Amino acid sequence: MGALLEVRNLSKYFGGLAAVNSVDFHLDQGEILGLIGPNGAGKSTVFNLISGFHAPTDGHVLYQGMDITGFKAHKIARLGVGRAFQASTLFMKLSAFDNVFNGFHRRYTTSIWKSVFHTRAARQEEREAREEALHILHFLGLSDAKDTVAQNLAHGHQKTLGVCVAMATKPKLLLLDEPLVGMHPEETAAMSKNISKIRDSGIAIILVEHNISAVMRLCDRIVVLNHGRKIAEGIPTDIGRDPQVIEAYIGTDDQEEELVCSSR
């Protein structure tokens, strides 16, 4: 079986400057791949290229063997690529349940006219979506908060809810952009457990995260970017001892020490 995702010679230029420069990597089924690097390394740009928010200047993105290079974001989402963003994209005035339920709109197969006239097919699809929304909230530990308005949730629960919304697209590949940012240790442990549960359910994950110790624990392999280029790729223990990686992290919030310690 081939790779679920292949990134080949991917480049993106903005005004003549390379945000991503000839990056290659692959993701296998059921794998968690870490994508790390200092601020400005090109990680979020890679996510934008994979998910269709930007078109690459050069290179290709293959998903399940299909070349999806340049596809629009909504089409890539329908193919099974979900994304949870670093910044909140929640409807803050809606309940946790309604946020997840609204995430199903990309998957609806019932025509607009059947929905307008509330046909049997439309009612059945809505009923199934509601049941699945409750299942997702339960799966990621938010059942008790299903009726809570999003703006009243704790930070960690808001981040988890963002992942729940991404799960509503029924992804085979989930892009997680700094899901642990701003969390205290208890929230970090809960989110880390959820990331492992998602992978164990059969969904492959690419994880962008600055919490290096969590990356080392969670990821099967790690790709390291610096100034838009890939400087290393391998298993966590090898990445933590790579001289180029250590050099890239020197002076960045004590992460050099964290990187080395996490690899021991």
Helix (H) or strand (E) holding 223: strand 221-226
Tell how strand 5-14 and strand 17-27 pair up: antiparallel
21 occurs within a structural domain: yes
85 occurs within a structural domain: no
% residues pLDDT > 90 (the chain): 78
Q: Are residues 132 and 215 in the same domain?
A: no
Boundary-marking domain end, from 119, 141, 169: 169
More confident site: 184 or 105: 184
Whether the predicted pLDDT of 123 surpasses 80 = no
Q: Which of 83-92, 171-180, 213-222 has the lowest mean pLDDT?
A: 83-92
Helix (H) or strand (E) holding 159: helix 155-167
What are 148-199's pLDDT values in tens digits? 999 999 999 999 999 999 999 899 999 999 999 999 999 999 999 999 999 9
Whole-prediction pTM: 0.89
As beta bridge partners, residue 175 has: 83, 206
- Count of helix runs (H) and strand runs (E) in the chain: 11, 10
Classified as helix, coil or strand, 4 is: coil
Q: Are residues 76 and 176 in the same domain?
A: yes
What is d(CA 10, CA 51) in angstroms, rounded to the nearest whole number? 13
Q: Are residues 55 and 176 in the same domain?
A: yes
Q: How many CB atoms lie within 10 A of CB 229?
A: 16
Q: Are residues 204 and 138 in the same domain?
A: no
Q: Are residues 63 and 193 in the same domain?
A: yes
Q: How many CB atoms lie within 10 A of CB 197?
A: 13
Whether the predicted pLDDT of 214 surpasses 80 = yes
Q: 138 lies in which domain range?
A: 95-169
110 occurs within a structural domain: yes
Compute the average pLDDT of residues 90-103: 93
What is d(CA 92, CA 69) in angstroms, rounded to the nearest whole number? 33
Boundary-marking domain end, from 169, 199, 233: 169
What are 34-46's pLDDT values in tens digits? 999 999 999 999 9
Query: What is the identity of the amino acid at 142?
Result: L
Q: What CATH number does the domain containing 220 carry? A: 3.40.50.300
With CA atoms as reference, report the closest residue to 210 among 52, 41, 53, 67. Answer: 41
Helix (H) or strand (E) holding 130: helix 120-139
Q: What are the φ/ψ torsions at residue 195 (nearest 5 degrees)? A: -60, -40
Boundary-marking domain end, from 169, 193, 222: 169
90 occurs within a structural domain: no
Q: Are residues 175 and 262 in the same domain?
A: yes
Q: Are residues 185 and 165 in the same domain?
A: no
Tell how strand 229-234 and strand 221-226 pair up: antiparallel
Mean pLDDT for the chain? 89
What is d(CA 5, CA 54) in angstroms, rounded to the nearest whole number? 17
Q: Are residues 191 and 125 in the same domain?
A: no
Helical axes 155-167 vs 185-200, angle rounded to 10°: 10
Q: Are residues 164 and 198 in the same domain?
A: no
Q: Are residues 182 and 260 in the same domain?
A: yes
Q: Are residues 184 and 156 in the same domain?
A: no
What are 15-69's pLDDT values in tens digits? 889 999 999 999 999 999 999 999 999 999 999 999 999 999 999 999 999 999 9
| Number of domains the chain is built from | 2
